[in-house]
Each structure stands twice: as structure tokens, then as C-alpha cells.
Amino acid sequence: MRRPHLAIAASLLLVSGCASIGADESLSEVQTTAAQRLGDLQVQLNPGDASDAVAAAVATLLERPLTAEAAVQIALINNRRLQADYAALGIARADLVQASLLANPSFSAEILVGNGSVSPAFSLVQNIFSLVTLPTRRTVASSALESAKLELGARILETAAATRRAYYTALADQQAAGLLRQVTSASEAAAELSERQTRAGNLSRRDQSVQQAQYAQAVFQLARAEARLASDRERLNRLLGLFGDQVTWNLPDRLPEIPAAKPQLDGLETVAIQHRLDLAGARQDLQTASYSLDIGRQLRLLSVLGLGIDVERDPDSKKWLTGPRVNVTLPIFDQGQGRIAGLEAQRRRTDRTFAALAIEVRSEVRETYARLIATHDSAAFYRTKVIPLQQQILAENQRLYNGMLISVYELLRSRQDQINAAREYIEALHDYWLARSDLERALAGPIPITPTASIEPANPKLALIPGDQP
């Protein structure tokens, strides 16, 4: 089911963008291709007359805590660089229109003066060569337009993937910074207590220095985490095209948990080969280069073929003489050797580029899949083993402290250890969602999931976010 906030944005964009979609069939095809890989998300050109509707849609999406899907939706409709990339499609369409036009006829006039007489002459010549090559030139330009469509589609998917990565990074930073605030608060309490105990003579200066050093280290780590969070929020702002009051958006409290099911590697390489738009674009570039080479070979000896008519006034009879005119270039010096050699080199280049990209796509799928499985297992291990053990240690130390068998510093230290384990779990979750985003980018679409054994559910009492207490 489509999420409500995405449905709102989609409806606003469809209302504002109907005219622009209908006016550009090529852009509509790109939008359809991208939408097939992005699900409910809308890909929309933002013309000047639709800016108010886009701003309203963005404001609606920012009203509640930002989700990954909402972030990607905003980027697809509001990223200025992506909007600028749409112009490349207009350039390719203009090249197609130009390739469909005949060359203009040439007109010349001359006046010969001699022996007391004036003899004017006129000629009109049409370059038939442009007519002969019109279908082939249009074929090449059409192929180039298809390449531009695929390149733009790949750019859209890259923007979506980059936005997801930036979103999960910012969310992980926020959650980690919240936990560090807890660590800093606990360290500050320990440092203040140690100072009071030292003044009372119940604690040595050495032990007090240890507590002060731990507090200083916690303050330093928190400052670094907050700086990293601010930087990553701005990186996400750039991808979303936000500025001014728009940058005050909020994030959820925590990263989503890992899903229970893990994908299988079988068939993923085939999915990528079939769906990757950059690979399809490289294949189209190869076809364009082949068209250009075939045309160049067929017409290498002919560059000008002009047919026309000459009109000249005979100075003796004072009558106008009319006759046909033919202009043909003689391939004596230039037989297109350099041009054909360049086309052949371009054909070899695109062929090898396509082959190399196909190999890289397969390798990328295997690499990101292996990383996804490793991060999935790491996050599951932390959630089901490490975090519960730290919770048990804290509970046991709390019991011992209540019985006056350990000091408050040991209890605070176990609390810090539990929070640090939660931070490491957040890092594991962050790594998983980045790996998942990378695999989706490698596949140019969602990951097919084959259900496997579910992981053990986590203890719902675990303190993993700011504000939770053991």
C-alpha cells in the first residue's frame, strides 16, 4: 500500500506536471522506466510554473519525522542537479530534430562583363547527399537519444541510492550522538562524585584523575559525534535540495531493525544485468557506434552530391540558357581514412567498455551481497548476544551495588559499557542499511527476498536509545 505522505506528494506532482509530461514523450519514458525500479516514488520534472506545487509537496513530506522513502521522494522532485540533468534529454532530442532536416539549397549569382556586354548567371543547387543520408543520420540520432534516456534513468537511480545512504548515515549519527550524551552524563556524574570524595579524603587523586580523564574523553567523543551529525545532515540537505527553514526537519528516534529474511545470491547477477540502466546505456552506445561506423564505410568516398539548375544569359543572342548542374567531390586526397579509423576506434572503445561494465556489474553484485550478509549477521549477533549480555552484567552489578559489594564507579562503568555496546550495535545496523542500499543500487531495483530462518527476537527491555534507562 502506498504510504499516505508519498501519496500526497504524488498527487500534487501529477497535477502540476501533466502538461510537462505530455509535452515531452522522452521524459515520460524515463519517468516510467525509473518508476518501475523505484516503486511508489514519483520522478517529476520541476518546471517553473510547478515550483509552488513542488514546494507544497516537500513541506508536506517534512511535516513528520523523515523516512528513507520520503527523503528519496524529495530528492527526486527537488534536487536541482537532477533537474538540470533533464536538460541533457532536450539536447539529444534537438540533435534528433536536426538530423531529420534536409540541408538548405545553395543559391549563387555571377555577372560577367566583357567586350561591352554584361552576362548574368544564376544557379540553384540542392545537396542530394543530405537526402540520401537522412534515414541513416536519423537512426544514429535516435540511438543517441535512447542512450541519453538510459543515462538519465541511471542518474535518477544513483541519486535515489545516494539519498538513502546519506539518510541512514544521518540517522545513525543522531542515534549514536544520543547514546554518547548518556555516556557523557554518566561520566560527568562520576567525575563530580570523585571530586567530592577526594575533598573528603575518601578517594585518591589518582582515582579522581581516572574519572576526570574518562569524562574528558566522553566530552571529546560527543563533540566529534555532533560535528559529524551536522555535516551529514548538510550532505542530506544538498541531496534533497533544501535550504532556509526547510533544513529543520526531524528524523525518527532510531534506525529500523534488520529484516528476518536474507536474500539468496542465486539469480541476483542476472537481475542486475537485465535491470541496470547504465549497462543498457553502454549497450546502446555500442549500437550507436556500430551505426556510425557502417554509415561512414558506406559513404566514405562521397561527401557532396549536389543537383541543381543553372540559368545564364547568352551575351550574343540575349537569350536565357537553362541547364542542369551537378556538383560532386573527387575523393583524390581525402578518402575518409582518418574518419573511418576514428569510428573504428570508437567502436572498439564502446565494445570493450560495455564488456568491462558487464563484468564490473556482476562483481559489484557479489561484493555488495557478501557485505549485506556479513552486516546482517553482525547486527543479528549484537542484538541477540552482545546486548543481552551487557544488560545482564548491568543488572548483576546493580544487585551487587545495592548490597554494597561494589562501588558506584563500577556500576556507572557497567552502564557505560552497555551504552557503548548499543553504539556498536547502531554501527552494525548502519553498515547493514548502507550495504542494503548499495545492493539495491547494484540491482537497479528492490532486492528479491527468499525467506529463511528468522533470527531470535530481541529483548524489548534493552536500553538502546536516548531516554531509556535500565
Residue 369 has pLDDT above 90, yes or no: yes
Lowest mean pLDDT among 13-27, 50-64, 65-79, 360-374: 13-27
Greater confidence (216 vs 214) lies with 216
- Mean of pLDDT values over 270-276: 90
Mean pLDDT for the stretch of residues 233-251: 93
Q: Given a cut of 90, is residue 83 above it in pLDDT? A: no
- Distance, in Å, from the CA atom of 414 to the CA atom of 396, rounded to the nearest integer, reads 10
Q: What is the value of pTM for the model shown?
A: 0.79
Q: What is the mean predicted confidence (pLDDT) over 129-157? A: 83
What HEC string does the chain produce?
Answer: CCCHHHHHHHHHHHHHHHHHHHHCHHHHHHHHHHHHHHCCCCCCCCCHHHHHHHHHHHHHHCCCCCCHHHHHHHHHHHCHHHHHHCHHHHHHHHHHHHHCCCCCCEEEEEEEEECCEEEEEEEEEEEHHHHHCHHHHHHHHHHHHHHHHHHHHHHHHHHHHHHHHHHHHHHHHHHHHHHHHHHHHHHHHHHHHHHHHHHCCCCCHHHHHHHHHHHHHHHHHHHHHHHHHHHHHHHHHHHHCCCHHHHHCCCCCCCCCCCCCCCCCCCHHHHHHHHCHHHHHHHHHHHHHHHHHHHHHHCCCCCCEEEEEEEEECCCCCCEEEEEEEEECCCCCCCCHHHHHHHHHHHHHHHHHHHHHHHHHHHHHHHHHHHHHHHHHHHHHHHHHHHHHHHHHHHHHHHHHHCCCCCHHHHHHHHHHHHHHHHHHHHHHHHHHHHHHHHHHHHCCCCCCCCCCCCCCCCCCCCCCCCCCC
Give the pLDDT of residue 158: 92
Highest mean predicted confidence (pLDDT) among 86-95, 117-126, 191-200, 280-289: 280-289
User: In this prediction, what percent of the chain has a pLDDT beyond 90?
Assistant: 27
Chain segment 370-390, per-residue pLDDT in tens: 999 999 999 999 889 998 988
Question: Can you give the pLDDT at residue 331?
Answer: 66
Cα(466)–Cα(177) distance, integer angstroms: 9
pLDDT score recorded for residue 463:
35
Task: Quickly state the pLDDT bin for 45 (edges 50, 70, 90).
Answer: low
Given a cut of 80, whether residue 229 has pLDDT beyond it is yes
Distance CA 111, CA 131 (A): 31
Please determine, for residue 339, whether its predicted confidence score (pLDDT) is greater than 90: no
Highest mean pLDDT among 8-12, 110-114, 159-163, 405-409: 159-163
Q: Tell me the average pLDDT across 197-209.
A: 81
- Quote the CA–CA distance of 406 and 259 in Å, as a whole number: 40
* Mean pLDDT, residues 41-66 taken together: 78
Q: Which residue has the cell 500534487?
A: 12
Instruction: Give me the residue label for grid cell 549536389.
Output: 306
Residue count (the chain) = 470
Q: What is the mean pLDDT of residues 263-292?
A: 88
460 vs 35 pLDDT, higher one = 35
pLDDT tens-digit profile of 435-458?
Answer: 999 999 999 888 876 544 333 333
pLDDT (tens digit, 9 = 90+) per residue, 9-21? Answer: 444 444 434 434 3
Chain centroid to Cα 240, Å, comes to: 12
Cell of 439: 545492493
List, in sequence order, every residue forming a beta bridge with 121; answer none if it has no partner: 110, 312
pLDDT(31) > 90: no
- On the question of pLDDT at 353 being above 70, the answer is yes
Please check the confidence at residue 320 and state whether its pLDDT lies above 60.
yes
Q: Is the pLDDT of residue 462 over 60?
A: no
Please give the pLDDT value at position 405.
81
The pLDDT of residue 466 is 34
- pLDDT exceeds cutoff 90 at 117: no
149's CB contacts (< 8 A; 6+ apart) are 26, 29, 30, 33, 89, 92
Model pLDDT, residue 171: 96
The rounded distance, in Å, linking the Cα atoms of 143 and 149 is 10
Question: Cβ contacts of residue 469 below 8 Å, gap of 6+?
Answer: 463
Measured between alpha carbons, how far is residue 60 from residues 4, 47, 114, 246, 378 in Å? Answer: 10, 19, 84, 11, 37
Q: Please report, rounded to a whole number, the percentage of residues in the chain having pLDDT higher than 70.
A: 82
Judged by average pLDDT, the poorest of 13-22, 82-91, 134-143 is 13-22
Instruction: State the average pLDDT for the chain.
Output: 80
For residue 23, name the pLDDT band (cuts at 50, 70, 90).
very low
What is the average per-residue pLDDT within 409-421?
A: 81
Q: Mean pLDDT across the stretch 324-352?
A: 77
* C-alpha cell at position 364: 559489484
For residues 3 and 69, the answer to whether their CB atoms sit within 8 Å is yes
- Beta bridge partner(s), residue 110: 121
Segment 211-227 shows an average pLDDT of: 89
| pLDDT of amino acid 46 | 62
The predicted pLDDT at position 394 comes to: 84
Q: What is the mean pLDDT of residues 189-211?
A: 82
Look at residue 303 and tell me whether its pLDDT is greater than 70: no
Residue 311 pairs in a beta bridge with: 122, 322
